[in-house]
Amino acid sequence: MAWDGLKKFVFRRKRDLPEGLWMRCDDCGALIYKKVVEERNNTCPECNYHFPMTAPERIQLLLDPGSFHELWEDLTPVDPLGFVGVNVYRDRLAETQIQTGLRDAAIVGVGTIQSKPLVFGVTDSRFIMGSMGSVVGEKIARGAELAAQEKLPYVVISGSGGGARMYEGCLSLMQMAKTSAAIARLHDAGGVFVSVLTHPTMAGVMASFAALGHIVIAEPKALIGFTGPRVIEQTIKQELPKGFQRAEFMLDHGFVDLIVARQELRETLARILGYIPGRVASGIHPALSPA
């Protein structure tokens, strides 16, 4: 349900980007030079609003060049309900797969950040709003299990306006249980989970693994919460206060450890990894030399 209120934030970039050298910031509305925005890793030079980033861009930004090794990349979503709404879920999947080059919204694998090995996952908001269906849930859970087994830290960059993916019905809902249980196992195995929340992280994703980081990091101004702002406004019939459900609000209310700008995220993750014992128990990838 959060989706409706959020689509205007998430997809505006795509409408604005194609033509011209200038674009308008989704948040402050300033007219900004596109090239500068790109140089700043898709952030606004005026207000530091963080535009959505694709999963491959994230990997590029955060991991050591060439170190990332994707796992379970052939996990393919299906249409378990035979979902026919305005369009057919399977068709929508195929079109999104073609547009994004991804099989589903999550990429999980192993790699290094400043030579420190980790299991790394990231969701892509281009793929049905980064929503969690069976494939996303399965990959996040497998990542947690691998991290527990290999005694590696686990970092997941989340971003989903919709949360659990409606098109897979209760199977999506139960991915909340699946991923939370897997994170609990990682916890019991002595592992450390770092959850990075990007704009927006809502509903079923936030009400499961994304909220369960031992360390929770948010990008500036990211919308974070359970119910989308529009639904809340409709329910309580009053306007929401400024900054409601933003990263800064979540920090103030104690649900986030720190807010980190995109430009500093790699450095910050490396510093955090420096405090987490990580070693590779078996040779899962040549790039990860046992430490």
Residues 165-224 that bind another protein (CB under 8 A): 165-178, 180-185, 187-188, 202-204, 206-212, 224
> H or E segment at 55?
helix 55-62
Which residue in 20, 31, 237, 241 binds another protein (CB under 8 A)?
Answer: 241
9 touches another protein (CB under 8 A): no
Q: Which is nearer to another protein, 75 or 261 (CB)?
A: 75
List phi, psi (to 5°) of 287. -70, -20
176 vs 280 by CB, closer to another protein: 176
Quick check: 248 and 223 in contact, CB under 8 A? Answer: no
Pick between residue 138 and residue 274 the one whose CB is nearest to another protein.
138
27 versus 179: smaller Cβ distance to another protein = 179
Nearer to another protein, 12 or 151 (CB): 12
Residue 228, exposed/middle/buried by CB under 10 A (0-12, 13-18, 19+)? buried
Of 172, 236, 181, nearest in space to 204 by CA: 172
CB 263 within 8 A of CB 40: yes
User: 237 in the Ramachandran plot: left (φ > 0), alpha (ψ -120 to 50) or beta?
Assistant: left
Return the range that interacts with another protein (CB under 8 A); candidates 25-33, 43-51, 156-164, 261-269: 156-164
Query: Which residues 6+ apart lie within 8 Å of 153 measured at CB?
Result: 116, 118, 119, 147, 191, 192, 193, 194, 273, 276, 278
Q: How far is the CB of 284 from another protein (least distance, A)?
A: 12
Q: Which of 178, 229, 183 is nearest to 204 (CA)?
A: 178
257-286 positions binding another protein, by CB under 8 A: none
Region from 44-52, 91-99, 149-157, 262-270 binding another protein, contact rule CB under 8 A: 91-99
- Report the distance separating Cα 57 and Cα 3, nearest Å: 23
Q: How far apart are CA 192 and CA 276, in angstroms?
A: 7
Q: Which is closer to another protein, CB of 47 or CB of 181?
A: 181
Is residue 93 close enough to count as binding another protein by CB under 8 A?
Answer: yes
Q: Binding-site residue total for another protein (CB under 8 A)? A: 114
Segment 40 to 59, residues that bind another protein, using CB under 8 A: 54, 56-57, 59
Minimum distance of another protein from residue 275's CB (angstroms)? 22
